[in-house]
Structure 1
Amino acid sequence: MSETNRIEFKREFNIDVDIEKEIIAFLNYNEGGIIYIGIDKTAKVIGVLDADGDALRIKDRIKNNISPSAMGLFDVIIEEREGKNIIKIIVVGGGEKPYFKKKFGMTEKGSFIRIGTASESMPQKMIDQLFATRTRNSIGKIRSYRQDLTFEQLRIYYDEKRTPLKGQFKKSLELLTDDGDLNYAAYLLADDNAVSIKVAKYSGVNRVDLIENNEYGYCSLIKATKSVLDKIELENLTTTQITAKERIDHRLWNPVALREAIINGIIHNDFTREIPPKFEIFADRIEITSAGILPEGLSEEEFFDGVSFPRNRELMRVYRDLELVEQLGSGVPRILESYDKECFKFLDNFTRISFPISKASGRYVRLVDGLVGGLVDGLVESQQEIIRLIMANPRISKKSMSKHIGISTTAIDKHIRSLRENKVIGRVGSDRSGYWELLN
């Protein structure tokens, strides 16, 4: 590894190191970058003696010395290399360029840009051009039409992380406009709002037969996000194949990639258009659709390379505080470890991710979808639920089936008898110690 247009090495961190200059240069650079503290210019690992203390001081300098606010646009991480601690600062390209040192303002002395492997002063003409085109239509600048917002749900989530919100949290989390009013980010994170995220489920491969339509919202976006994650986790069934030698489990979708896609779909949604993200589950895939296209200046190639350009940095800040988001820029690369780029589709006004059901689970899913015509008149849906429960847990009891589906054990017996007679399911072993299997 060596210094590049996106990588900068610093041997140490002290009062003489102009860390603000390097960070500002990456904020003003569309692709952002990474700064390593504790590695010299030859890429030799030197290490940092007080990594925790230096990390806190770096965060403080970024927070207090750079404008516009860079909160939500950087990560400060302690890593171990060759048995020594180093500090890794991840910086993403900001959406409110130009960024500058507060002390010098929007001047050549205060604004910087990455050129090759160096951070250079930004020409005044470029500063003026960037300021003239600065993105102002953001959730942090839009005034909430409601100013009577409460944040008890947000308080609970911060308390769970043992970082309770203080009296000035609205200011520190940037939930206020420049005029001191609650902004749209505050509205999204408030206990009560009009934003609802839909999770729809269809019986087939198109939107014709809707069998389930859930709404999660009218509450803090954090709570809604957790509800969506929980719901889709339930839908991400584990299909099980039991052989004489082993038990093989398969999920419908890779859980790591799926979680990243859900979080990305919410946190990068263009809420200024008042269109929430949408989640749709089909017989052969799951689709996640977000309002908005790639931010201006970010190419598809850069997007797939993991270049992060947060659309809603105020939300990003809170999601990272609550550990819903890991390192900046890690989401898309995590997804691409399991799925191809073709899963992403950039429409005129929306971005969509589509994950196909895993091939290993496809046979079981097709079997469930094939239960049409009424093996027991009027009770096909309950039979499908029995199949899904068996897919998730082949050793499930009839009593547990009854509890999950909400029907009597007598009805369960009737369904199972019909399914067995029609050679859809079979039983291996005794009722006490055996298990269910799906038949070809």
Structure 2
Amino acid sequence: MDDIANSVSDSCFPQIIPNITFQTVNNKCIVIVEVYPGFSRPYYLKSEGKVQGTYVRVGGTTRPADAMKIKELELEGMNLSWDEQICIGYPVEAETVKKLCDDITKYMLEAAVSEEEKRMVKPVTEQQLLNWKILKKTESQLAATNAFVLMTGEHFPFAKIQCALFKGTDRDIFIDKKEYGGPLYKQIESAYQFVLRHIDLSAEIEGIVRKDAYELPIGAIREMIVNAVCHRNYLDNACVQVAIYDDRLEVTSPGMLYGGLTLEEAMSGRSKIRNRGVAEVLSRMEIIEEWGTGIRRIVKRAAEYSLPEPEFLEIGDSFRVNLYRYTSEKPIKADKKPIKLERERMILQYIEEHESITNKEARELLGLAESTTKRILKDLVKQGVLCEQGERKLRKYYLA
């Protein structure tokens, strides 16, 4: 036992002191070596050095850590969050700061249930962004953190969500695909709407009230996307991916579970925040509710819909959630009529708020191709719901 303790201590840096005990099992002495997660990461083999001698567990295998993973371990060891670090050279403009403050305030107001709660919401200020470490002051000047950049622009090329609808149950034939960039909270909403456009929507009549219901719990859909965006590793050169198949909704997030967290611990509700600044803003916006409850909420919503139990997987250096649809002998096909009605409703609501809509505005609203958007608008004109004015690119549609 002493030899094992000395070998571990002499071979690794920073020093690791294992807990070594023994038990007698079937008249045999079994030596038990336990190594608990440490805070001075990364730990590596002295003989190989930090770059070559740092290893990570991926599933049931041990692999050399790449430069990106070592960087994340170093930040973790210093109790630093990458998104709270200053983004060198990124300008902080007053208009951008105001826009972010206004958007956070808007989300807070929308989340307030009663008029009394709305009155209690105070406009978010620049000082609050400083308190939340979204902005920092250096030599009396404002500096942008990576969290501020993620919430206001498209500076990081892989900080995006890729969405796709596939035919069948594997990644072979695309039916539709979109890529969303920009502020994270807008990405989340766009990806969420993409999923809703491509899953079944049914209607039930209760008395004189019509109730629309999607085939998958919308709370679980949003939770899957929000968790992927909030907890992903932004040092990883990969995008969050949202994929819809005939049998499931699949959301994949770059980065393994953070801080030595195991899948079993995550399932039990334990959480470690990888991106503290991003989580802070999304929490203030009420986009995430309580840290650590996301996985259990997904499981609960699926159970309420009598769906198969969701699947949570660590695949390589990424994390994946599968929410399964109702199974049947034939592949599930979306009911086109409810989807069409939902798209028309979105257009009419936009016109009520903005008086008119162009093909480009409708295309961005629905996330569809120009030809498809034009066909929907023309159908509404034929139905007598809309009227059109202007030629080609200048054409606008109004309520008839």
Runs of at least 5 residues in structure 1 that lack an aligned partner in the other structure = 1-94, 98-129, 369-386, 414-440
Q: Distance in 2 between matches of 1:353 and 1:174?
A: 30
**1:151 maps onto 2:97 in alignment:** yes
- Of 303, 315, 321 in structure 2, the residue corresponding to residue 347 of structure 1 is 315
- What's the secondary structure of 2:250's corresponding residue? strand
Shift of 1:299: 1.8
Deviations 1:92-112 (A, max 9, x none): xxx989xxxxxxxxxxxxxxx
**1:318 maps onto 2:277 in alignment:** no
Question: If each structure's helix is expressed as a fraction of its own residues, which one has the higher value?
Answer: 2
**1:235 maps onto 2:183 in alignment:** no
Which residue number in structure 2 is paired with residue 366 of structure 1?
A: 332
Answer whether contact 2:201 2:339 (CA < 8 A) is retained: yes
- Of 184, 193, 202 in structure 2, the residue corresponding to residue 221 of structure 1 is 184
Structure 1 residues 249 and 406, CA gap change in structure 2 (3 angstroms): closer
Q: Distance in 2 between matches of 1:281 and 1:230?
A: 13
Q: TM-score, normalised by structure 2?
A: 0.55
Shift of 1:405: 5.3
Which residue number in structure 1 is paired with residue 134 of structure 2?
A: 175
**Segment of structure 1 superposing worse, 158-167 or 285-294:** 158-167
Answer whether contact 1:137 1:272 (CA < 8 A) is retained: no
Structure 1 residues 157 and 249, CA gap change in structure 2 (3 angstroms): closer
**1:199 maps onto 2:143 in alignment:** no
Deviations 1:148-168 (A, max 9, x none): 452344223223234322232
AA at the equivalent of 2:77: T
Runs of at least 5 residues in structure 2 that lack an aligned partner in the other structure = 1-37, 41-73, 109-120, 349-371, 384-400
Q: Distance in 2 between matches of 1:228 and 1:367?
A: 20
Which residue number in structure 1 is paired with residue 32 of structure 2?
A: none
Answer whether contact 2:91 2:143 (CA < 8 A) is retained: yes
Shift of 1:131: 11
Q: Distance in 1 between matches of 2:137 and 2:148?
A: 13
- What's the secondary structure of 1:163's corresponding residue? coil
Answer whether contact 1:295 1:311 (CA < 8 A) is retained: yes
Shift of 1:356: 1.5
Structure 1 residues 358 and 227, CA gap change in structure 2 (3 angstroms): same
Deviations 1:83-139 (A, max 9, x none): xxxxxxxxxxxx989xxxxxxxxxxxxxxxxxxxxxxxxxxxxxxxx9993344622
AA at the equivalent of 1:388: K
Which residue number in structure 1 is paired with residue 148 of structure 2?
A: 186
Which residue number in structure 1 is paired with residue 5 of structure 2?
A: none
AA at the equivalent of 2:221: L
- Of 370, 373, 376 in structure 2, the residue corresponding to residue 406 of structure 1 is 376
Q: Distance in 1 between matches of 2:272 and 2:92?
A: 31
Deviations 1:380-426 (A, max 9, x none): xxxxxxx42257879x99xx9x989528669x99xxxxxxxxxxxxx
Shift of 1:333: 1.0
Which residue number in structure 2 is paired with residue 164 of structure 1?
A: 123
Deviations 1:46-76 (A, max 9, x none): xxxxxxxxxxxxxxxxxxxxxxxxxxxxxxx
Which residue number in structure 1 is paired with residue 174 of structure 2?
A: 210
Shift of 1:262: 1.3
Which residue number in structure 1 is paired with residue 77 of structure 2?
A: 133
Shift of 1:275: 2.9
- What's the secondary structure of 1:139's corresponding residue? helix
Shift of 1:140: 1.1
- Of 334, 337, 350 in structure 2, the residue corresponding to residue 389 of structure 1 is 337
Written as runs of structure 1 = structure 2, the 5 A alignment for 1:1-400 is 133-136=77-80, 138-141=82-85, 143-148=87-92, 150-160=96-106, 161=108, 162-176=121-135, 181-194=143-156, 195-217=159-181, 219-239=182-202, 251-337=214-300, 338=302, 343-359=311-327, 362=328, 366=332, 387-390=335-338
Structure 1 residues 237 and 96, CA gap change in structure 2 (3 angstroms): farther
TM superposition outliers: structure 1 runs of 4+ over 6 Å: 246-249, 391-394
- What's the secondary structure of 1:323's corresponding residue? coil
Which residue number in structure 1 is paired with residue 361 of structure 2?
A: none
Q: Distance in 1 between matches of 2:321 and 2:291?
A: 19
Shift of 1:325: 1.1
Shift of 1:341: 6.1
Answer whether contact 1:241 1:247 (CA < 8 A) is retained: yes
AA at the equivalent of 2:129: K
- What's the secondary structure of 1:187's corresponding residue? helix
Answer whether contact 1:151 1:189 (CA < 8 A) is retained: no
Shift of 1:174: 0.4
Which residue number in structure 2 is paired with residue 375 of structure 1?
A: none
Length, aligned pairs only: 260
Answer whether contact 1:240 1:392 (CA < 8 A) is retained: no
Shift of 1:146: 1.8
Answer whether contact 1:277 1:290 (CA < 8 A) is retained: yes
Q: Distance in 2 between matches of 1:364 and 1:247?
A: 28
Q: Distance in 1 between matches of 2:152 and 2:39?
A: 25
Q: Distance in 2 between matches of 1:341 and 1:311?
A: 26
Deviations 1:181-222 (A, max 9, x none): 3221111011453433221112222222112121221x2212
